[in-house]
Structure 1
Amino acid sequence: MYLNCHTYYSLRFGTFSEVELLQLAQQNHVTQLVLTDINNTSAGLNFVRRAPEFGVRPILGIDFRNGIQPCFIGIAQNNEGYLELNDFLSHHLHHQIKIPDKAPCFTNAFVVYPFEQVLLNEQEHFMDHEFIGVSIKDLRRLPFSRLSEHKHKLVVQQPVTFRNKQDFNTHRLLRAIDKNLLLSKLQKGDEGDEEEKMYPVQNLAAAFSEFPFILENTEKLLNQCSIHFDFSKDRKPQNLRTYLQNVEEDERLLEQLCTEGLPYRYETVDDTIKDRLEKELQLIKKMGFVSYFLINWDIVSEARRRGFYYVGRGSGANSIVAYLLRITDVDPMELDLYFERFINLYRTNPPDFDIDFSWRDRPTMTEYIFKRFEHVALLGTYVTFKERGVIRELGKVFGLPPHEIDFLSEGKYTLDQLDHVSKLVLKYGKLLKDKPNYLSIHAGGILISERPLHWFSATHLPPKGFPTTQYDMVIAEDVGLYKFDILGQRGLGKIKEALEIVAYNQPEKYEDIDIHNVKGFKRDGNINNLIRSAQCMGCFYVESPAMRMLLKKLQVDNYLGLVAASSIIRPGVAKSGMMREYILRHRNKGRTEEKAHPVLLDIMPDTYGVMVYQEDVIKVAHHFAGLDLGEADVLRRGMSGKFRSRDEFQKVQDKFIANCRKKGYSESLISDVWNQVASFAGYAFAKGHSASYAVESYQSLFLRTYFPLEYMVAVLNNGGGFYRSEFYIHDARMLGATIHPPCINNSSIVNRIHGSHIYLGMMYLRDIENRVMERIVKERLLHGPFVSMEDFLDRVHIRMEQLAILIRIDAFRFTGINRHELLWKAHMMLSKNDRMEHPKLFPPRHQKFQIPKLHTTQLETAFEQLELLGFCLCSPFELLAEPPRNAHGQRDLPRYLNKHIDIYGYLVTVKNTSTHDGKRMYFATLVDQQGEVFDTVLFPPVAAKYYFRGKGIYRFYGKVVEEFGFLSIEVIKMQKENYIQDPRYAEMRTSKKLFGSNK
């Protein structure tokens, strides 16, 4: 009887989930109802999926409104009607068109106009599919209204938005957040009616007892509606079913491509390779995933045609078919990749393919996919209210001053410190936490469907400009829609640009480079030595302090070791304590025999019986706990966070533990193994995924080994990486580069290299305008280098404050004229007003100015660079107010092992973390006076006394310790060192003292 029900996907209006709506219906003995969120269909699929559990027959519709002003309700008679409604809503959302007061003539959908709207619009005539909605509140007015004449058109429209007073209060807060108003300023017209509640069926019938025909009309309307989506285990994939004309042609093409790929990938094709290929092809055909592979092949083939670099990863990297189709560069035979992680008869979803493109190329590839295939949309996701964010929003709504909002957000309070309003903020903050705030876009998911995607939901159009579904990946998979992951990363941009830079900086060597010769890279001793010494600054996935530390502890010097390290570094493995155990077993093989359970060691001999890869969850669940492969995959997927809250996952968890007990394992062993599974599987990579990362790491390590300067320029031009730009610049200097500040004749917008000279890009100048940089570069390309500042001003339109930035950074140093003199000259030649842009008919005549002789010191230059670039190009140790009292550095750590050292370091990066009992501690990486990197740790007692206060030089006193060959300093005390007084302002202060200030 309820045909106008809202959930919290009526964004910033509704207050509870679609499952809570179904629970409410069950409590009130409601057996059929219509979900009609406001201009939103996010809850529709899950509402249909879950409804049978609550004895509810689900019907779908949309509450069409402008803002919260009702227009009409659309109710789908069937799936075709739902498609009509979604088409209509999507058109208006995409083009930001107002919803009309009058609905279009839907073929398979009913329209219900709210009672009040019909009166306001003075509507007299109604089509067969159109009705008038009457709420309990409207019954008082109905007998006295002209609408009482339309008896056969009247239906019950009792909106459902709230369950109780608390819901209504929450709703009002959401409305105030949406309107960016104080709660006290919220108008009645901006909120819903508190009476929008669900009543037991008998109460609703009693309310309409004087108008039984309204109940009959409503029943008749609802009985004509039926919606169906297949959520069964045997459901068919809803992705594009065939790549070519039919399944047979698809299968022939897939076989042909594999045959063509064999000689490209393998010098010798033995029976093992043939058997693996045949096994995969049979299963791929049986599971109906042929088109899925061919679509991915189409995408990467187009990328190669355009000269784009890509990396294919995910569980699909365990597949030899993917390797032969060049979707991935990971050989499953070489790595003995676990077949059942890639595909098995129990899994309904195809394997994951994450295809990474350069961040510059990804938009082009996304556009290609939308043009190449018919039914395409980006996958949506929900941004929810988070704890700190919601406290800030509610703080503003309740009128708290900013300092009180900050205090609450930090969470460092006791309840007796708080007043009534602050307690209300916290109370309602808990109610709003994790509710959807707005719709966004999945990081890389694209859906390519057999049916129009509006069959499943409406789409909206975010700023990226591509239609995006109103549901997320979990429900998409439930209904049989499996995403294609098209992702962007900067690592590939670095590799591609590095090769382009080598082509012009060392053209004689460029022809000999094959960046895809990964097999050769794996055998290269110079590259492997770089990994072993952890000299990996700028290299994909292996440059962070944590990874550098792990590489040294594991003594990694080969591809397989790097594959393992790529997964071990993930948070879950460390959290479970298995990272440390893995290192211990790696360095002491006797420990493996002593500590590893025989079954686990037999399952995972390569990783010493330690779960490292995502497929290890499947192996352990299947072989150790006796789950079938389908149940094991539910466990693996549940650990990824997608299904952790679902009943099916809980059942599998219970069976895992029960089976282990039946096998006679001790409770301590069961607990230990389950804790390993539970703690790390959500973060671990599939082995093929790690191997894909390792391939890209080797490509970047090759470039760093043999073309280090070109590679570092590419790193800088692609946004750096884990560290700030100044440290990649520092690293380039350590590798032999001469670094020059921006120059109007040698610099571009980005960084450029000439031989071993790197000219920083003008992009580092904080306040320089893009259009000014573009003018300079364009003018220089068209008419050659500038010969003087006068020549520059004749050719480039620029304002005085922009010119001053260029002069102060010494971009005119080719003139040989002191910066101070150039500034004097510039002020005399330019007024502070914008110069007029007009064609110059005659060359300007320049006046001769007599300017006093001025000087610039190196210290002034350093401070100008600090201000304009954010870092200086000299050693920061030269800026200390007091010179260092020693020259200790990273090279001294071995002789101070287990002793105390006094050392100075320039802060590179600091990681704030917490111990298991919540105490704060720090890991910091620094550069010493010789330019080498060293690491420190501040344990909680020290971290409670000292903390890092931003960039700068710190002096440490601590003990040098070693763990698995990795040296670091356990800090006992530290202090931040002061820089010398800025000489530019010191001179001004001296002048004021000598001559007095002009106040």
Structure 2
Amino acid sequence: MFLNCHTYYSLRYGTFSVEELCELAKSQHVKNLAVTDINNTSACLKFIKIASEYGIKPLTGIDFRNGVQQQYVGIARNNKGFKQLNQHLSSHLHNGSDFDNDAPLLPDCYIIYPFEKVASDKKLNFRANEFIGVSVENLRKLKFSKYLHYKEKLVLLQTVTFRSKRDHNAHRLLRAIDNNTLLSKLPKSEEGNFSQQMISPEIIKTEFQDYPHILQNTEKLTKTCEVKFNFGEARENQNLKVFGKSKKADEEELKKLCYENLPKRYPQASEEVYERVEKELKAVISLGYVAFFLINYDIIQYAKEKAYPYIGRGSGANSIVAYILGITNVDPIELDLYFERFINAHRNSPPDFDIDFSWKHRQDVTAYIFDRYKNTALMGTYVTFKRRAVVRELGKVLGLPKENLDKLSAGYFDYHQLDHLEKLVLRYSKLIAGFPNYTSVHSGGILILNDSVYNYASTFMPPKGFRTVQIDMNISEEVGIHKFDILAQRGLSKITDTIEIIRQNQPGAIVEDIENTKVFKEDPEINHLLKMGDCMGVFYVESPAMRGLMIKLQTNSYLELVAASSIIRPGISNGGMKEEYIQRHQNPEQRKVAHPVLFEILAETYGVMVYQEDVLKVAHHFAGLSYDEADILRRGMSGKKTSKGQIEKIEAKFRSNCRKKAYPEQLIKEVWEQISSFAGYAFPKGHSASYAVESYQSLYLKKYFPLEFMVAALNNGGGFYDVETYIQEIRKCGGIVHAPCINKSDHPNVIFGKDIYLGLGNIKELEMKVIQRILENRQFFGPFKSLDNFIDRVAISIDQLSILLKIGAFRFTQLDKHHLLWKAHFKLNKSKPKTNQAVLFKPKQRDFELPQFTFSEIVEAYDQMALLGFPLCSHFKLLRNPIQASIKAKELKNFIGRDVQIYGNLITAKRTPTVNGKFMCFSTFYDMDSDIFDIVQFPAIAEKYPIRTKGIFLCYGRVVEELGYLSLNLKWISRQETTGDPRLADSSKFKLA
């Protein structure tokens, strides 16, 4: 009979989960309970789902509040009432408006006004569905109140927010975090009362013995409330079920589209193709996913009309129907992709289509979906309190100094030496860590429902302006709501931007149709880049680990790249299958160690499981499970929800069938363990193939238009490496990189022939409005002729102009920048008008006689480091000491098995834990010729010579070769000193970072 219960979805207020609330109710023998979080319905569906397990009748509602001021509590009588509550809350969350003192007419809800609120507002009139809520504390006041005579309107409203003093303490800390104030300064009005606890029904009856009608009214109210949803296997698909006029019309449309487009994908289609199409269409229609396909087709048709590039992936890439419709570019016949991985009779959720768009286009695609479909919302998610972050937040509200916060957050402390407050921070950080902090937007999920989103949850309005549900994908899927994944990535923008840059920089160049990846896959020059690991800037294959893997595999084809994209994943790497695959790939004799049955099943991968589909193959062909059973096994081991006990039954059948086939027990055990360690991390083959298609598109551009490609990569945020590394790659490809120039540069980086001018947007602390003024003025009135001409035309402060002068943006004047800086300070004074308006009669600029200044490359480098983050000259030119005798990266192959010295500028370093809890380190450097090499530090060396900062290092170690891949097993490493900034008083004290 508790009608106002809060979980931790009463954000920064509540202190326990839905499950803990149910456990509390069960311990108190409470049978009726309402979850009414503050301005939030995140907990409602989960509460309805699990309440019966605790013997509880679930009621759902909302505690409507302005800040912490409770206005009224709404309880849903039925599903219509739940929808009304969600709509009412959402309208206020979208507008950011306060709730009125009186609730609107919500006919299928009960509205309960707290007694204190009614008394202070002197409210006298109540609708039939409106009540006055009385808590145990209110009884003293009720005796002397006129509301004592409102017998039919009085119900029990005992708020439940805490279980103990610890909960109340955590609540106060959360309120202080929310108010951004010290706990000692938190107003009492911002806290919930400690009495807001669940009192046993016996005590409630005793307290209300003089007011039995209040409990009777409450019981009557709870009996008339029921909100129902089906979950799990009993759920129905809540996504849009009819795309066009009717289900039948949709089915005919899907068939028509398939057979119209089939010849484009398969000009000489085999019988196998037609059989696969018929099989898929039959399954899609029988399972009711026709509208799902047509919606995805509609989305990609819009993208094609707008010339937006996209990549379709996910389990849908196993579908020939999706391939024919153009939703994906992966041929499931060519790659032998299993239909059952994509859809089967035991799968009660639609297939997974992840459609990637450029980060520049996703917003427009999302807007199209919201305009095109009525019942649409973004999928919500919860950003939780992380341990390190919550330690900092708690430390702040308790008034700890920054150094204490740093110590506690980093975890470097002796607990026994901590003071009382520090221990308090740690104690409550353990409790609060994992609580939802605020609702956010899922990375790509969009809901397109058959009916109103408000049937299931309230929505809020994030900054991008698309309503977002207050529930996450887990409970959504449980109730039958399945998201469409519309994702953004920068790799696609690199491709489209490269093509545009080529048109501008090389108007006569012939660019292949970027969709014609068949040509790219068969190009030996492109495959040679893979073989050599020369993939800087290329989507998904540019990391040091992937580069090393491709060299070891001598990757030379599309199928080999597809395999490499999956082998790099943790499940295969950690299980030792990556090394085994590489050995068998490079050494045919090694393939003989594979079990004959496994080798026959997995011939393409030499008897090694590489893809998620391999679980299906092994379970079906090796253990005799049906494809449907095998897919349940795959889903269960991948962390997907399955029926209780289903995996155990399938494991028993797996073992039993293997024994019937007379396999040795050791082999059965090994294969099962491989499946167990592998399935949770492996890529679907179609997923890897989708990525490989995009990689080939990028590889084509990198091979034949390297400078334009690298400029596009920089303009789209780079990738795995930092800006300086990509600039090194540009130089390696023959490009000449220039500092920003006010006459040549745009906001992004631009290319003229082989000359690349860094964009004004790269300059730190240069304001966007200044960049806009410069570019607009230049566009209308042409290039700037001199510093005086610039000062006359652009309104700019001396601070901003100094930044441009220090970076050398006026070098076209042929004057030393120090000379120009002095002139700028003389010419630009505070009386300069702050306007962009052109001056009719420009005042004549005075000139000044200045001494001769000396130019220093080191000063130039330090200015560039300050304003760009890196120098445009080689770091090696800045070394303090002469370079010792050493080799270069291209010479490593001549010193295999020998110890060598080599200088390298650090690109990236990665610490990796070993099985015994120690760490190895893998680092990548480039040498004086901009060639890349890798070093490996085993635990003892990694501990003795930790690499913590970037810079130039002298590396000493043994050159090792593994299947063509060269690296240096480090013995010692020494960071090299660089010449300090000569403008500093004692530059010898400073080193280049």
CA distance in 2, matches of 1:743, 1:120: 68
User: What is the percent sequence identity of the aligned residues?
Assistant: 51
Where do residues 126-145 of structure 1 align in structure 2 (5 Å cutoff)? 126-145=126-145
> SS state of the match for residue 233, structure 2?
coil
* Shift in alpha-carbon separation, 1:603–1:33, aligned structure 2, 3 A: farther
Residue of structure 1 equivalent to 2:742:
744
Deviation for aligned residue 1:120: 1.2
Secondary structure of residue in 1 paired with 2:457: coil
Indicate the residue corresponding to 1:952 in structure 2.
951
Determine helix, strand or coil for the equivalent of 2:487: strand
User: How far apart, CA to CA, are the structure 1 residues paired with 2:101 and 2:602?
Assistant: 65
> Which residue in 1 is equivalent to 2:503?
503
- The answer (yes or no) to whether the contact 2:66–2:98 under 8 Å persists in 1 is yes
Distance 1:786 1:86 in 2: 59
| Stretch of structure 1 that moved more, 664-673 or 74-83 | 664-673
Q: CA deviation at 1:649?
A: 6.0
Q: Structure 1 residue 356: deviation in Å?
A: 0.6
**Partner Cα distance (1:318, 1:70) in 2:** 52
Distance 2:89 2:607 in 1: 54
Distance 2:802 2:920 in 1: 44
Assess, with a 3 A threshold, how the Cα gap between structure 1 residues 461 and 730 changes in structure 2: closer, same or farther.
same
Determine if the alignment matches structure 1 residue 925 to structure 2 residue 928: no
Give yes or no for contact 1:626–1:656 (8 Å, CA) kept in 2.
no
In structure 1, the partner of 2:700 is 702
Give the corresponding residue for 1:520: 519
Counterpart code for 2:324: L
Q: How big is each residue's C-alpha offset from its partner over 1:81-131, in whole Å with a ceiling of 9 and x where there is no partner?
A: 100000000000111111122111111111011111111111111110001
**3-state DSSP class of the match of 1:944?**
helix
**Count of aligned positions:** 985
State whether residues 657 and 670 of structure 1, in contact with CA within 8 Å, keep that contact through their aligned partners in structure 2. no
Q: Is the 8 A contact 1:877 1:883 kept in 2?
A: no
Q: Does 1:849 align with 2:844?
A: no
Q: What is the Cα deviation at residue 534 of structure 1?
A: 0.6
Matched-pair contact (CA < 8 Å) for 1:474–1:642: no
2:827 to 826, 829, 832: 829
* SS of residue in 2 equivalent to 1:772: helix
Distance 1:637 1:65, change over 3 A: farther
Q: Structure 1 residue 686 and structure 2 residue 684: aligned?
A: yes
1:462 and 1:599, CA in 2 relative to 1: closer, same or farther beyond 3 A?
farther
SS in 2 for 1:332: coil
1:379-404 Cα distance to aligned partner (Å, 9 max, x none) = 00111121211222222233322222
Q: Partner residue of 2:443?
A: 443
Change (3 A) 1:637 1:118: farther
Runs of 5+ in structure 2 lacking a partner? none
Q: Distance in 2 between matches of 1:127 and 1:620?
A: 66
Task: After TM superposition, give the deviation of residue 625 of structure 1 in Å.
Answer: 5.5
CA distance in 1, matches of 2:645, 2:708: 53
Deviation at 1:939, TM superposition (A): 1.6
Give CA deviations for 1:133-157 in whole Å, capped at 9, x if unaligned: 1112222332222111011111111
Amino acid at match of 1:524: D
Worse overlay, 111-120 or 801-810: 801-810
Provide the residue aligned with 1:885 in structure 2.
Answer: 884
> Alpha-carbon deviation of 1:571?
2.3
Distance apart, 1:627 and its partner CA: 5.7
| Counterpart residue type for residue 791 of structure 1 | N
Q: 1:418 to 1:524 in 2, by over 3 A?
A: same
Does the 8 A contact of 1:901 with 1:959 survive in 2? yes
Please report how far the alpha carbon of residue 313 of structure 1 lies from its aligned counterpart in structure 2 after TM superposition: 0.6
Give the Cα separation in 2 of the matches to 1:630 and 1:20: 36
Residue 253 of structure 1 corresponds to which residue in structure 2?
Answer: 253
Segments of structure 1 that go 5 or more residues without pairing to the other structure are 991-999
Superposition TM-score, scaled by structure 1 size: 0.95
Evaluate the alpha carbon distance shift between residue 988 and residue 846 of structure 1 in structure 2; reply closer, same or farther with a 3 A threshold.
farther
Per-residue CA deviations over 1:791-816 (Å, capped at 9, x if unaligned) read 22222222222222222222222222
**Residue of structure 2 in register with 1:771 after alignment:** 769
The C-alpha deviation readout for 1:474-533, integer Å capped at 9, x for no partner, is 1111111110111110000000000001111112124x4211110111000000001100
Counterparts of 1:464 and 1:412, CA distance in 2 = 40
Q: Specify the alignment match of 1:995 in structure 2.
A: none
Secondary structure, in 3 states, of the residue corresponding to 2:267? coil
For residue 622 of structure 1, report the CA deviation from its aligned partner: 5.0
Q: Distance in 2 between matches of 1:626 and 1:159?
A: 57
2:250 and 2:724 map into 1 onto residues whose CA distance is 52
TM-score under structure 2 normalisation? Answer: 0.96
Q: CA distance change for structure 1 residues 212 and 673 in 2, over 3 Å: closer, same or farther?
A: farther
Mapped contact 2:636–2:647 kept (Cα < 8 A): no
| Residue 39 (structure 2) pairs with residue 46 (structure 1) | no
> Which residues of 2 match residues 832-981 of structure 1 at below 5 A?
835-837=833-835, 838-981=837-980
How far, CA to CA, are the matches of 1:710 and 1:586 in structure 2? 35
Distance in 2 separating the partners of 1:408 and 1:626: 54
Contact residue 623 and residue 657 of structure 2 kept, 8 A: no
Counterpart amino acid of residue 606 in structure 1:
E
Residues 390 and 906 from structure 1, CA distance in 2 versus in 1: closer, same or farther, beyond 3 angstroms? same
Matched, 1:652 2:666: no
Alignment of 1:540-619 (within 5 A): 540-594=539-593, 596-619=594-617
* Shift in CA distance, 392/639, structure 1 to aligned 2, threshold 3 Å: farther
Letter of the 1:867 partner, please give it: A
Of the structure 1 ranges 884-893 and 612-621, higher mean CA displacement relative to structure 2 is found in 612-621
1:5-48 deviation line (CA, Å, top 9, x unaligned): 11111111112211222222222222222111111111111111
Q: CA deviation at 1:456?
A: 0.2
Q: 2:2–2:159: 8 Å Cα contact kept in structure 1?
A: yes
Deviates more, 1:421-430 or 1:480-489: 421-430
Q: Which residue in the other structure is 1:994 paired with?
A: none
Instruction: Give the whole-Å Cα distance in 2 for the aligned partners of 1:936 and 1:560.
Output: 29
Superimposed CA distance per residue, residues 268-310 of structure 1 (whole angstroms, 9 cap, x where no aligned partner) = 1111110101100010001110000111111110011011111
Whether 2:752 is the aligned partner of 1:760: answer no
* 1:846 partner amino acid: Q
CA contact (8 A) 1:319 1:332 kept: yes
For 1:99 and 1:621, the matched residues in 2 are separated by 58
Of residues 424-433 and 525-534 in structure 1, the stretch that sits farther from structure 2 once superposed is 424-433
In the TM superposition, 1:146-295 aligns within 5 A as: 146-295=146-295
Amino acid corresponding to residue 652 of structure 1 in structure 2: I
Superposed counterparts of 1:226-375, under 5 Å = 226-375=226-375
Q: How far, CA to CA, are the matches of 2:234 and 2:219 in structure 1?
A: 33
Corresponding residue for 1:114?
114
Instruction: Return the alpha-carbon distance in structure 1 between the equivalents of residues 672 and 204 of structure 2.
Output: 51
Separation in 2 of the partners of 1:598 and 1:59? Answer: 59
AA aligned opposite 2:161? T
Greater mean deviation of Cα atoms: 44-53 or 417-426: 417-426
User: How far apart are 1:642 and its partner, in Å?
Assistant: 5.2
Residue 965 of structure 1: how far off its partner (Å) = 2.0
Q: Secondary structure at the match of 1:277?
A: helix
Give the Å deviation of 1:340: 0.5
* Deviating more after overlay: 308-317 vs 613-622: 613-622
Could you say what secondary structure the match of 2:143 adopts?
Answer: helix
Name the aligned partner's letter for residue 705 of structure 1.
K
CA contact (8 A) 1:635 1:653 kept: no
Matches of 2:508 and 2:497, distance apart in 1: 17
Alpha-carbon separation, structure 1, partners of 2:851 and 2:478: 78
Contact 2:527 2:557 in 1 (8 A): yes
Task: Rate the CA distance shift 1:60–1:848 in 2: closer, same or farther, 3 A.
Answer: closer
Amino acid aligned to 2:532: S
Measure the CA separation in 2 of the matches of 1:620 and 1:85: 51
Query: Structure 2 vs 1, CA of residues 598 and 144 (structure 1 numbering), >3 Å: closer, same or farther?
Result: farther
Secondary structure, counterpart of 1:233 in structure 2: helix
Q: Aligned partner of 1:656: which letter?
A: E
Letter of the 2:166 partner, please give it. Q
Deviation at 1:423, TM superposition (A): 2.5
Question: Which of 773, 798, 801 does residue 799 from structure 2 map onto?
Answer: 801
- Assess, with a 3 A threshold, how the Cα gap between structure 1 residues 26 and 609 changes in structure 2: closer, same or farther: farther
Query: Which deviates more, 689-698 or 742-751?
Result: 742-751
Matches within 5 A, 1:409-558: 409-510=409-510, 512-558=511-557
Tell me the distance in 2 between the aligned counterparts of 1:16 and 1:825.
66
Deviates more, 1:943-952 or 1:361-370: 943-952
Q: Is the 8 A contact 2:6 2:38 kept in 1?
A: yes
